[in-house]
């Protein structure tokens, strides 16, 4: 392939004329007027946490690269600058300029926030991103976060999560009665209606509690992150999930700070956040598939919920939504926006993706 | 929410000190040294083609915004600068700097290229992106395209496609015998082994051929694009698909041109292409869901393939892969890379996403 290449851009002409200076040229397309933008970003994850923590670190590197090192995002792992669950308040108050976390953590501030994170039997990650970007979700989210002086961007998605690890096999609704399970959020509220006793535990205490039988079950995320927690050593039954089908992660900015950023930097950060948002799903896909192979070697028993549990959980979901709607006007309004979009997208996903996967994987 | 906001970045200090100049500040974070980079990008789609054409237009706008209008990508719809299917050669020769198209169009140059576009019963869009970004796919693609002086980036994905429009209902393998169907690529080769007579037709001639019975069936993309072609008026049976589960679109550069771009511009373009790549899937999700509602109102009959056709198609796929592998060393090597990743990812998708969709949508 020794064709002659005709290139007409001024960039190339510049490079040709300068000859040996090409390498230096590459380093300095832009000249900055001597300002630097420095952004302190705190996360709710440990430094270098797989997939989620790594994703935000990579995002920060790419912002630096694409801005000629003039926009510097310093990422602080949990508790290094502010407590893991203190990032919302710290950012709202301007002590940090940005944080990476999940909107369902802040449901105590506003019940509606949990819906931005996802809900049982809710959007898949692709449906969630469709709703956010093309169905009005982002605008609604920004409106509600605006009340807290915050401006959210999409910052990732866990993709479909597993239902959790159980010490004993669950063959019926009866088997769930009184079980103590670590499960947070709307999923926990649905499971409570099925007879589960949901408990909250710090990440570092879950394994021991499961090992000792202080709890009977726990959910976490999916194969890639669960395998690192070692749950397979003390609970052999691993259930497919319905409670967190595509949990949203957020990259949220202090709004007053965001508004001062130059237009081109806002676009750069938004687009690179969208890239991170997507890549995290692909990374989860890749790492979950690899970890599942390992888990199978460890003798984990992969299980599906009995039909009566799925049916009861769907009924419970609508009760939970009714309860939340009666307590919170924001939740109620948001659900009214979400429901028709959810129904419409389920119909297409069933016809397209679900029928495809049925044909491919039986 | 009247909290005092403490912001410490120099950008904000600059903005504060300059007061009324803030708006102007926003326009000129960077000072360019007087160069502009201009990129001619030709597509294989008509100007403003929904989702795919719009996506690349939006990408070009964002590159301009994020670079302070110093990187200008001019998008030319099909046949405006080079013929729709002439973009590969024109870019390889340096007549244009970039193109937006699909790698399966170039299988005549190298049979392996069709695998970068997807294959029947192959990767979903998320699995494809996982393979590309985390499973080594992109590196293999760049190696092969490098032989043609080309450098590909991910430029979108159609997500799962529908199996096509049939004038008569297909109840058995027997019903397929001798049917003339417009279906290209590896899907066409699989269908040929099932007794279909695959034909190729320019987009503008498909509707009339289907209306007159010159062809008995056609596939296109999915509800959002198919509805605009009007096929529902002349063929009522619309089948879920297995032949193009996540077709890749490409944003490919002339490699010698790409190599001259400054590092920060390479990063910017790559990240914004990754954003386009993801957003196109979410946009297809949104628009397909909306169009499906319309199609239902028009009385379209939504159908699934009989089991014997699915089974025969899977067997045919392996024959097609064997044939292609015996004819092309590149195809054979690439398939050997793809197959284990495909098997591994199917196992996770089945446990996670497929089981979830079964629970949610029955």
Q: One digit per residue, pLDDT tens: chain A, 362 residues?
A: 333 333 333 333 333 333 333 444 444 577 665 678 999 999 999 988 999 999 999 999 999 999 988 999 999 999 999 999 999 999 999 999 999 999 999 999 999 999 999 999 999 999 999 999 999 999 999 999 999 999 999 999 999 999 999 999 999 999 999 999 999 999 999 999 999 999 989 899 999 999 999 999 999 999 999 999 999 999 999 999 999 999 999 999 999 999 999 999 999 999 999 999 999 999 999 999 999 999 999 999 999 999 999 999 999 999 999 999 999 999 999 999 999 999 999 999 999 999 999 999 98
pLDDT at B335: 98
User: Does the beta-carbon distance from A285 to B28 stay under 8 Å?
Assistant: no
Tell me the nearest-neighbour CA distance from A46 into chain B, angstroms.
23
Q: What is the DSSP string of B21-50?
A: GHHHHHH-SEEE-S--EEEEEEESS-TT-T
pLDDT band of residue B23 (cuts 50, 70, 90) is: very low
Distance of CA A303 to the CA centre of its chain: 24
CA atoms within 13 Å, Cβ hemisphere of A142: 14
User: Does the beta-carbon distance from A11 to B70 stay under 8 Å?
Assistant: no
d(CA B303, CA B19): 63
User: Does the beta-carbon distance from B134 to A68 stay under 8 Å?
Assistant: no
Going from N- to C-terminal start, the domains of chain A cover 36-157+246-286, 164-245+300-325+332-361
pLDDT at A321: 98
Other Cβ atoms closer than 10 A to B340? 10
CA atoms within 13 Å, Cβ hemisphere of A204: 2
pLDDT band of residue B32 (cuts 50, 70, 90) is: low
Residues contacting A159, CB < 8 A, separation 6+: A124, A125, A222, A246, A281, A284, A285, A288, B126, B352, B353
ipTM of the complex: 0.92
Mean per-residue pLDDT of chain B: 92
pLDDT band of residue B359 (cuts 50, 70, 90) is: very high
- Whose tokens are 């509220």? That residue is A189
Smallest Cβ–Cβ distance between A93 and the set B5, B30, B222 belongs to: B5
User: Does the beta-carbon distance from A357 to B360 stay under 8 Å?
Assistant: no
Q: In this structure, which topology does domain A164-245+300-325+332-361 adopt according to CATH? A: D-Maltodextrin-Binding Protein; domain 2 (3.40.190)
pLDDT band of residue B257 (cuts 50, 70, 90) is: very high
Other Cβ atoms closer than 10 A to A10? 12
In our burial notation (b when 16+ CB lie closer than 10 A, e otherwise), range B285-320 reads bbbbbbbbeebeeeebebbebeeebbebbeebbeeb
Which of A21-35, B55-69, B91-105, B310-324 is predicted with the least confidence, judged by mean pLDDT? A21-35
3-state secondary structure B69-95: CCEEEEEECCCCCCCHHHHHHHHHCCC
Among candidate residues A361, A229, A360, the one with its CA nearest the CA of residue A295 = A229
Among candidate residues A303, A290, A313, A301, the one with its CA nearest the CA of residue A195 = A313
pLDDT at A2: 35
B36-66 pLDDT, tens digit per residue, is 899 999 999 998 899 999 999 999 999 999 9
First to last CA, chain B: 45
B29 pLDDT more than 90: no
CA-CA distances (angstroms) from residue B256 to A99, A170, A347?
40, 60, 46
- CA-CA-CA-CA torsion for B313, B318, B320, B322, nearest 10 degrees? -170
B26 pLDDT more than 50: no
Smallest Cβ–Cβ distance between B357 and the set A11, A347, A353 belongs to: A353
User: Does the beta-carbon distance from A285 to B130 stay under 8 Å?
Assistant: yes
pLDDT at A28: 53
User: Does the beta-carbon distance from B256 to A305 stay under 8 Å?
Assistant: no
Tell me the nearest-neighbour CA distance from B124 into chain A, angstroms.
8
pLDDT at B20: 32
Q: Considering only CB atoms, which chain B residues are within 8 Å of A126?
A: 125-126, 159, 281-282, 285
One fold for A36-157+246-286 and A164-245+300-325+332-361:
yes
B111-170 pLDDT, tens digit per residue, is 999 999 999 999 999 999 999 999 999 999 999 999 999 999 999 999 999 999 999 999
A7: left (phi over 0), alpha (psi -120 to 50) or beta: beta
Tell me the nearest-neighbour CA distance from B202 into chain A, angstroms.
25
d(CA A205, CA A214): 11
Q: Considering only CB atoms, which chain A residues are within 8 Å of B97?
A: 7, 9
Largest Cα–Cα separation, chain B: 79
Q: Give the chain B residue whose CA is nearest to the CA of A255.
A: B5
B36-157+246-286 architecture in CATH?
Answer: 3-Layer(aba) Sandwich (3.40)
pLDDT at A362: 87
Q: Considering only CB atoms, which chain A residues are within 8 Å of B60?
A: none
Residue spans of beta strands (DSSP E) within chain A: 30-32, 37-43, 71-76, 98-101, 150-157, 164-166, 180-182, 197-199, 217-218, 237-239, 248-254, 301-303
User: Does the beta-carbon distance from A257 to B281 stay under 8 Å?
Assistant: no
β-pairing verdict for A37-43 and A98-101: parallel
CA-CA distances (angstroms) from residue B270 to A143, A195, A269, A319?
31, 50, 14, 46
Smallest Cβ–Cβ distance between A271 and the set B272, B346, B348 belongs to: B272
Helix axes B263-297, A263-297, angle to 10 degrees: 70
Q: Which tokens sit at B244?
A: 């193009």
pLDDT at A9: 35
Return the number of CB contacts < 8 Å for A and B.
Answer: 367
pTM above 0.80, yes or no: yes
User: Does the beta-carbon distance from B7 to A94 stay under 8 Å?
Assistant: yes
Q: Give the chain A residue whose CA is nearest to the CA of B132.
A: A282
């Amino acid at each position: 392939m020794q064709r002659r290449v005709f290139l007409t851009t001024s960039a190339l002409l510049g490079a040709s004329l300068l000859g040996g200076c090409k390498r230096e040229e590459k380093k300095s397309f832009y000249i900055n007027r001597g300002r630097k933008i420095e952004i302190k970003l705190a996360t709710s994850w440990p430094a270098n946490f797989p997939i989620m923590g790594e994703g935000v670190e990579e995002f920060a590197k790419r912002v630096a690269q694409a801005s000629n090192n003039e926009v510097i995002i310093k990422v602080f792992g949990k508790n290094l600058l502010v407590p893991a669950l203190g990032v919302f308040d710290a950012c709202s108050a301007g002590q940090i300029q940005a944080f990476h976390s999940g909107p369902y953590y802040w449901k105590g501030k506003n019940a509606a926030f949990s819906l931005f994170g996802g809900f049982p039997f809710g959007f898949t990650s692709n449906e969630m991103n469709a709703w956010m970007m093309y169905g009005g979700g982002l605008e609604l989210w920004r409106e509600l976060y605006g009340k807290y002086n915050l401006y959210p961007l999409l910052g990732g998605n866990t993709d479909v999560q597993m239902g959790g690890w159980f010490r004993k096999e669950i063959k019926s609704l009866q088997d769930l009665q009184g079980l103590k399970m670590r499960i947070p959020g709307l999923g926990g509220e649905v499971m409570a209606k099925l007879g589960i006793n949901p408990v909250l535990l710090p990440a570092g205490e879950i394994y021991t509690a499961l090992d000792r039988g202080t709890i009977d079950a726990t959910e976490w995320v999916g194969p890639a992150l669960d395998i690192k927690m070692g749950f397979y050593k003390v609970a052999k039954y691993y259930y497919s999930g319905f409670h967190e089908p595509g949990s949203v992660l957020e990259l949220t900015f202090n709004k007053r700070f965001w508004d001062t950023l130059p237009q081109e930097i806002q676009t750069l950060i938004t687009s690179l956040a969208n890239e991170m948002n997507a890549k995290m799903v692909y990374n989860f896909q890749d790492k979950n598939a690899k970890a599942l192979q390992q888990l199978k070697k460890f003798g984990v028993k992969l299980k599906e919920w009995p039909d009566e549990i799925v049916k009861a959980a769907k009924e419970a979901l609508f009760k939970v939504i009714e309860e939340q709607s009666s307590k919170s006007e924001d939740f109620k309004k948001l659900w009214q926006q979400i429901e028709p979009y959810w129904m419409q997208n389920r119909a297409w996903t069933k016809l397209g993706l679900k029928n495809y996967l049925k044909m491919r994987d039986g």
